[in-house]
Structure 1
Amino acid sequence: MARRPQRKARTQAPVEVTVGEIGARGDGLADYGGRRVYVPLTVPGDRVRILPGEPRGDGIAARLLDVLEPGPDRAVPPCSHFGICGGCALQHLTDGAYAGWKRAQVVTALSRAKLTGIDVAPTVRTPPASRRRATFAATRRSGRATLGFNERQSHRIADISGCLVVEPGIRALLGPLEDLLTAMLPDGAALDVTVAVLEGGPDVLLTGGPEPGLDARERLAAFAEEQDIARLSWRRSPSSPPEPVAARRPLHVRFGGTAVPVEPGAFLQASGEGEAALVDAVLAGVGGARKVADLFAGLGTFTFPMARTATVHAVEGDASAMATLSAAARTLPNVTTARRDLFEDPLTASELSRFDAVVFDPPRAGAREQSTRIAESGVPVVVAVSCNPATFARDARILTDSGYRLESVTPVDQFVWSAHIELVARFRAAG
């Protein structure tokens, strides 16, 4: 049987388009042949030459070839790695346009949920070089380890030696960590390196790669001593328990004056400044409430600051986080705790109705079922914290459909130059 000739892949030719706006992921949006085109590293008004590529969602992904005529909001990126490193998406925007775009993501999400006329405050900004927690990719190739963030749309690792996002203390460790991994890892090995700066010093967690033997553990312990790292741990995978290799000093964070121990890899707000902005907005939201439920409480980021003036019941599903929070709260008679999966077993309306206010801070997926129970409870004040405007708007709609009034929303830009935005919102029951 004769073989059919193979069909050659169609080669797209470069085209020129004008960018109209920036989408939710930080890419410029343009129109080509009646279809949406996603063009990274562009701003509204840019006239650009692009190479159309593969389908993406409702449109086409494209590669930027040239900026033929820059838009009015284009700026010179402050970082020399921008455009290659995938850690930042929006350094090429002027400062005013950048802050406006962040706020607009919240307004747009509310509008899509038919929540209009809402008081959305100006974006609360956090400064560069403030990230106190970051996870880097690392691999060893051709006899040398590279540590950094992945390049845009690639598994290759970008050099980030001059990263402008992380704290100076983290940036100073990147070179020594690369040297350490070069000496320890075999070629082809890859792992993740999480570095956090806590009270007590740096905390380093290695995830993946070959299990360290005795020689490697001795090398890691010596490295912790040389670099004054408070704790260095290893784990096989993100779901495996960390194994301490060097534990030189206790590590903790302080919420509302309460010292809370931190396990390796525990979730923390990305920056101290961002955390302070979120806490301030939550405290303003609950106001003078005397009895507060803190749902998805984590380690107690909001629990302990609220406990200065109120009785707080903290609920969290993660066993490790709840054990840590409960231990830290033992000396505080006005804090009670409960471990509970709020996705599978949300607090009921009758359980919630005994509180003056409810604070909930769910993961990116939001809290549809818990929002429904809150809406049924009639609790006077509800404060929502979210890292995803789309799921927040969905949950907000559940509350407003039940008679709650969305009084205010405060965007908080904790992940500088990224497409992410967080927010704190206050609802008040009708009547």
Structure 2
Amino acid sequence: MARKRGRPAARKKSSRERINLTVNRLGASGDGLAGDIAVPMTLPGETVLVDLHGKEAIPAERFNDAAARVAPACKHFGLPGDGCGGCHLQHLGAEGSLGFKVERLTRALHRTLDDLPPIETFQAPPSSRRRAKLHLKRRGLQWQLGFRRRRSHDVVNIDMCTVLHPDLLRPALAIRAMASQLLPEDCRETDLFLTLSDTGVDADFVNVDEERLTLIQREALAAFAQDFGLARLSVGGMPIAGGAAPVLRLGTLTVGLPPGVFLQATREGERVMQDRVVAALRGRTHVADLFCGIGTFAAALPEDSQIAAVDCAGAATAALDRAARQAGRTITTVTRDLFDDPLSSDELSGYDAVIMDPPRAGAAAQSALVARSGVPVVVAVSCNPDTLARDAGLLSEHYALSSLMLIDQFLYSPHIETVAVFTRRP
């Protein structure tokens, strides 16, 4: 039986189109915005020909340059799909990037606070990043090492970086050259975590099974660690080789670094933040340091301070506890998830200051309880202006924002660190 011929199926239209757009502002991620369409690597006032796909646009041609545009500092910087995705704002320069971040922080905080104190700023120098996650990927017989291209899983094979500390970059480039000798034969791709400690570089191939290493590879890893003076070389979080254990001097403490532990991105930014916190808490002797990590701020406080340091990362609090005991400091460490189990107002009532340094999600539940605690001074350290604004709004019923500092230690990226000091109203 013959089938009845129906109407021919309509040809599906491509969702992509090429149009001209004029950028009118910068979004929170640093992308140019034309209305609600994001146009990466563009600046307000520029008109560009783009390939549009939904609300995403890839620039094909730029017809004019904004006055704020500068030549990028790194040859690897470029358009999505072409250049390195490690930096987003090199076309705005260091000074322009800092101005963008001040505006971004101001806009966020004005959503919940009417009045802001003057924003002080600090910008870390180039080539000062002391921690990084780089990607290693095999292509044929060669290995590529670098950051991923933006909106891609491809790796940009770098031979320079204007952001990373040279002491991180040197062993990283050497690892690329020797990756076939150091890694299992069937390994095609891995992430390489690098941290610059006071005793040398701590390196970890995080996605590699340590049990798959051959004896020859273990010997090669040990020789590499010795040749480059690495403090520790780990595979899948398991230490394989190294010299002196990786440690960090924090205030009066020398803290051993657990693998993968969080620490501030630059030494310079860390010192400025520590100084800011110490100044804000001058004369305060009973301090709760919440989301304390390895004790970046607890360690910097005066030695006669009595500190409760709380964090969910058990390895970090254990490292802080060991360092405090060795130094004879009165720091009581507690491993506790402050998202699920924040300190109550009653638990906080005996302290005359609170420090909070949560991850990007902020500390909404803990901020609400701090606001009702009666603690005289609260220092909020934040890496996310939006969650800082939310938490500041929770504190604002009882606290005034008395000082504000923006620390730019992620050059050419939209990331922001902030130290905000809140004082309780009479």
Does the 8 Å CA contact 1:285/1:425 hold for their aligned counterparts?
no
Structure 1 residues 328-347: aligned runs within 5 Å:
328-330=323-325, 331-347=327-343
Equivalent pair of 2:290/2:311 in contact (CA under 8 Å): yes
In structure 2, the partner of 1:418 is: 413
Conserved 8 A contact 2:88-2:414: yes
The equivalent of 2:234 in structure 1 is 233
Measure, in 2, the Cα distance between the counterparts of 1:228 and 1:140: 26
Residue 422 of structure 2 aligns to a residue in which SS?
Answer: strand
Aligned equivalents of 1:187, 1:213: Cα separation in 2: 12
Who is 2:292 aligned against? Answer: 297
User: Which 4+ stretches in 1 moved above 4 angstroms?
Assistant: 1-4
Q: In the TM superposition, what are the counterparts of 1:381-420 in structure 2 within 5 Å?
A: 381-401=377-397, 403-420=398-415
Cα distance in 2 between the residues matched to 1:118 and 1:339: 34
Query: In the TM superposition, what is the alpha-carbon distance from 1:172 to its structure 2 partner?
Result: 1.2
Deviation string, structure 1 residues 107-143 (Cα, Å, up to 9, x no partner): 1111222x12201413211011000111101111211
- Letter of the aligned partner of 1:350 in structure 2? D
8 A contact 2:304–2:330 mirrored in 1? no
User: Match for residue 130 of structure 2?
Assistant: 132
**Are 1:196 and 2:195 matched, yes or no?**
yes
* Change in CA separation of 1:221 and 1:95 when aligned onto 2, cut-off 3 Å: closer
CA change 1:303–1:175 in 2 (3 A) is same
Equivalent residue, structure 1, for 2:273:
278
Paired AA for residue 177 in structure 1? I
Partner of 2:91, secondary structure, is coil
Of 306-315 and 413-422, more deviation after overlay is shown by: 306-315
SS of the residue corresponding to residue 139 of structure 1 reads strand
Instruction: Look up the match of 2:220.
Output: 219
Structure 2 partner of 1:148: 146
Relative to structure 1, is the Cα distance of residues 290 and 217 closer, same or farther in structure 2, using a 3 angstrom cutoff?
same
Contact 2:22 2:48 in 1 (8 A): yes
- Residues 170-227 of structure 1: per-residue CA shift (max 9 Å, x gap): 1112221111213345466111111111111111111113532222111111111222
Greater alpha carbon shift after TM alignment, 137-146 vs 203-212 = 203-212
Match of 1:45, SS state, is: coil
Q: Is the 8 A contact 1:161 1:174 kept in 2?
A: no
Provide the C-alpha distance between the structure 2 equivalents of 1:314 and 1:209, rounded to a whole number of angstroms: 33
1:121 aligns with 2:119: yes
User: Within 1, Cα distance between the matches of 2:406 and 2:203?
Assistant: 30
- Partners of 2:120 and 2:404 within 8 A in 1: no
Q: Following TM superposition, by how much is the alpha carbon of 1:91 offset from its aligned partner in structure 2, in angstroms?
A: 0.5
Counterpart check, 1:102 vs 2:101:
yes
Give the residue type in structure 2 aligned to 1:419: P
Give SS of 2:90's match: coil
Which residue in the other structure is 1:165 paired with?
Answer: 163
Summarize the alignment of residues 233-252 of structure 1 with structure 2, pairs less than 5 Å apart: 233-235=234-236, 242-252=237-247
Instruction: Give, as a single letter, the amino acid of the residue that structure 1 aligns with 2:218.
Output: R
Cα distance between partner residues in 2 of 1:335 and 1:223 = 38
Amino acid at match of 2:220: R
Pair 1:300–1:8, CA change in 2 (3 A) = same
- Hey, what's the Cα distance between the residues in 2 that align with 1:94 and 1:251? 34
Contact (CA 8 Å) 2:191, 2:206: kept in 1 or not?
Answer: yes
Q: CA deviation at 1:97?
A: 2.4
Q: CA deviation at 1:389?
A: 0.7
State the TM-score, normalizing by the size of structure 2.
Answer: 0.93
Q: Which residue number in structure 2 is paired with residue 57 of structure 1?
A: none
Mean Cα deviation higher: 75-84 or 188-197: 188-197
> Per-residue deviation at 1:309?
4.9
Q: Could you say which residue in structure 2 is the equivalent of 1:267?
A: 262
Q: Which moved more, 1:150-159 or 1:342-351?
A: 342-351
Contact 2:47/2:62 (8 A) holds in 1: yes
| Structure 1 CA distance for aligned equivalents of residues 420 and 353 of structure 2 | 13
Cα drift, residue 344 of structure 1: 1.4
Matched, 1:91 2:86: no
| Equivalent residues of 1:307, 1:335 under 8 A apart | no
Query: What is the distance in 1 between the residues matched to 2:179 and 2:32?
Result: 37
Aligned pairs, number: 414
Contact 2:290 2:357 in 1 (8 A): yes
CA distance in 2, matches of 1:363, 1:188: 32
Q: Pick which of 206-215 and 88-97 moved more.
A: 206-215
Conserved? CA contact 2:24–2:44, under 8 Å: yes
Once the two structures are superposed, residues 278-335 of structure 1 have per-residue CA deviations (whole angstroms, 9 ceiling, x without a partner) of 1112112222212111111100000011143522111111111111111111143432
Q: Which residue of 2 aligns with 1:73?
A: 68
CA-CA distance at 1:263 after TM superposition: 1.6
Q: Does 1:29 align with 2:33?
A: yes
| Paired residues of 1:189 and 1:209 also in contact (CA < 8 A) | no
C-alpha distance in 2 between matches for 1:88 and 1:333: 40
Contact 1:102–1:123, Cα closer than 8 Å, also in 2? no
Q: Give the percent of matched residue pairs that are identical in Structure 1 and Structure 2.
A: 40
SS at match of 1:93: helix
Q: Letter of the 1:417 partner, please give it.
A: Y
Q: Which amino acid aligns with 2:111?
A: R
- Is the contact between residue 170 and residue 197 of structure 1 (CA under 8 Å) also seen in structure 2? yes
Quote how far apart the aligned CAs of 1:43 are: 1.1
Query: What residue ranges of structure 2 are gaps of 5+ in the alignment?
Result: none
Q: What does residue 239 of structure 1 align with?
A: none
**How far does residue 46 in structure 1 lie from its aligned partner after superposition?**
1.2
Aligned partners of 1:337 and 1:320: how far apart in 2? 11
Counterparts of 2:95 and 2:204, CA distance in 1: 37
Distance 1:390 1:382 in 2: 18
> SS at 1:108's partner residue?
helix
Aligned CA RMSD, in angstroms, stands at: 1.6
Q: Is the Cα–Cα contact under 8 Å of residues 120 and 408 in structure 1 kept in the other structure? A: yes
Aligned partner of residue 208 in structure 1, secondary structure: coil
